[in-house]
Amino acid sequence: MICDNISVNEKGHLTFAGIDTTELAKKYGTPLYLMDENKIRERVRVYKNAMERYFPKGSMPEFASKAFSCKQIYRIMAEEGIDIDVVSAGEIFTASSAGFPMDRAFFHGNSKTDEEIRFAMEKGVGTFVADNEEELKAINEIAGEMGKKQRVLLRVSPGIDPHTHKKISTGSTESKFGVAIETGQAKGFVKLAIELENVELQGYHCHIGSQIFESEPFATTLEIMLGFIVEMKKAFNFEPEILNIGGGFGVRYVEQEPVIDYDEKIKEVSYVLNKQCERFGIAIPKIHMEPGRSLVADAGMTLYTVTNVKEVKGYKNYVSIDGGMTDNPRYTLYESPYTVVLASRANDEKDFVATISGRCCESGDLIQEDVNITKPLKDEILAVLTTGAYNYSMASNYNRVPRPPVVMLKDGEDYLAVKRESLEDICSLDI
Ligand SMILES: *Cc1c(COP(=O)(O)O)cnc(C)c1O
């Protein structure tokens, strides 16, 4: 199967992390998010060990928690001893409520409000990744009011197009994120950070996009960023302690996509780093990376119950499920590919071409179009694989559909990490 935590048992049922998925569907109901805790920890360790091995001491992965945010994931990351990214008061509150050491959190985002900045400082967030000059001034002012000196990284845009989907490409000069190097504005940003009294400039941050399979775009990014470091050293005699090169390594959603050896990719990036630092005559900064999806995507799976199969003669076949864009909006947003398997008969011939359709009143509410699956019967369990990233975290209550629970699987056991939303929950804020 697409990942080594997926298999088929003697009954022909799909298993995930060694557990029969049809049994889990019976126990918890559907739709149901499953997360393989061991796989998450395994991935975190691959990144952490590789970064310790190939980069200078103090280099560290940060989990981009927008990919999957709930209290339990922050507890896991705390136990694994890695840093996290947070982007909102909501993520900060969740991490802090879970007891995550907030000194290890990096606060991102291109549109932080003053209230959020203050809230983040009160919660002890260690580092702010300042996106623009107005924000940097606000951080400085609020830190001053609170009698703090706030650590900051500056987000700059290196002017890179990593050839990924336009909506997940974030490092080009015209991007809404960060301050552009190409236009010369990034230099003014650095000058300001050095001058402001209540911020302590630690270095630079960039993030070029997501679903990147090669190390080459990162190498190009590094060359640009190191060139920028040299320029800033000349201009202001400032050398950064940290260079954050962002997240974005790809994930294998379908068989046609390559298997990624993250250790090998990180090693490739380190060659470029060492070579270029030597060439430019600068100290090698501590490297931070911010993997989101590559830590959690294939630790996830979603189970649905088939509600009906509709064959539009001469046109299209639809398999309708009891979930859809409310629990996984990624096909609707980006036409993301996914692998779909009939969990109750996972070894049967996949000779039915079907479009998996969600339950919302939108023609665009689809999980996949025209994929080969085993023709299901009503009430059978359908599994969508590799849904651990940007599914639960992007879920909505459109059509007032309650969000599914998250069940974690660990060492052959299952436990609830997030409860199923109830109909009462849906109305809980209504007056
Ligand atoms: C989304 C994002 C990430 C994570 O991207 P993945 O593709 O999930 O690895 C990292 N850093 C920043 C700033 C992001 O916006």
Give the ligand 1 atom nearest the CA of 210.
7
Q: How far is the CA of 83 from the centre of ligand 1 (A)?
A: 14
The amino acid occupying position 390 is: Y
- The pLDDT score that the predictor gives to residue 163 is 61
Instruction: Label residue 248 by pLDDT band (50, 70, 90).
Output: confident
Active site residue 361: yes
| pLDDT digit string, tens, across residues 270-301 | 999 999 999 999 999 999 999 999 999 999 99
Q: Specify the residue with its C-alpha closest to ligand 1, atom 15.
A: 207
Question: Rounded to whole angstroms, how far apart are CA atoms 298 and 40?
Answer: 8
- The pLDDT score that the predictor gives to residue 378 is 98
pLDDT at residue 363 is higher than 90: yes
Burial grade of 152 (CB within 10 A; 0-12, 13-18, 19 or more): buried
- The pLDDT score that the predictor gives to residue 165 is 54
Residue 107 corresponds to which tokens in the numbers above?
A: 């606060």
User: What is the DSSP code string of 229-246?
Assistant: HHHHHHHH----SEEE--
69 pairs with which residues across the strands?
Answer: none
Q: How far is the CA of 291 from the centre of ligand 1 (A)?
A: 6
The amino acid occupying position 152 is: V
- The pLDDT score that the predictor gives to residue 174 is 84
Q: How far is the CA of 13 from the centre of ligand 1 (A)?
A: 34
Question: Rounded to whole angstroms, how far apart are CA atoms 97 and 119?
Answer: 13
Instruction: Label residue 172 by pLDDT band (50, 70, 90).
Output: confident
- The pLDDT score that the predictor gives to residue 1 is 85
Which residue of the set 206, 277, 361, 427 is catalytic?
361
Question: Rounded to whole angstroms, how far apart are CA atoms 46 and 171?
Answer: 25
Contact 212, 248 (CB under 8 A): yes
* Cβ of residue 64 lying under 6 Å from some atom of ligand 1: yes
Cis amide linkage into residue 329, ω under 30° from 0: no
Q: Which of 66, 154, 176, 334 has most ligand 1 atoms within 8 Å of its beta carbon, as the pocket-test mutant?
A: 66
Give the ligand 1 atom nearest the CA of 170.
15
| pLDDT digit string, tens, across residues 207-223 | 988 888 988 888 889 99
The amino acid occupying position 353 is: V
**Which pTM does this prediction carry?**
0.96
- The pLDDT score that the predictor gives to residue 166 is 59
pLDDT at residue 168 is higher than 60: no
Residue 80: partners with Cβ closer than 8 Å, 6 or more residues away: 41, 44, 45, 48
pLDDT at residue 170 is higher than 90: no
- The pLDDT score that the predictor gives to residue 311 is 97
